[in-house]
Amino acid sequence: MASKEQLQKVATQCDEYNMKEDFSVELSSDFSVENIKSCENCIHFTRDHKCDMNLVDKVLSSMAMELDKK
């Protein structure tokens, strides 16, 4: 299972990320949508804490390969 930090990083890199409409947060001047982006508030993230498109591991692997290239 991915950590909260990993789920946030995955969401910023995932092409299929789509925030749930019912996810509401009061945004302050120092709080942006980028700061709350997470698989946990994506429409594809299930109650069982899994991506219904099986993208978490794929995106994490892709991110790891990008780091290896540097």
Boundaries of every domain in the chain: 4-69
Give the chain's count of helices (H) and strands (E): 3, 0
pLDDT of residue 27: 46
pTM greater than 0.85: no
pLDDT, residue 67, reads 79
pLDDT at 42: 95
What 15-24 contacts at long range (C-beta under 8 Å, 24+ apart), as own/partner pairs, is 16/42, 16/44, 16/53, 16/55, 17/42, 17/44, 18/42, 18/43, 18/44, 19/43
pLDDT of residue 13: 96
Mean per-residue pLDDT over the chain, rounded: 85
4-36: per-residue pLDDT in tens? Answer: 999 999 999 999 999 988 765 544 445 555 568
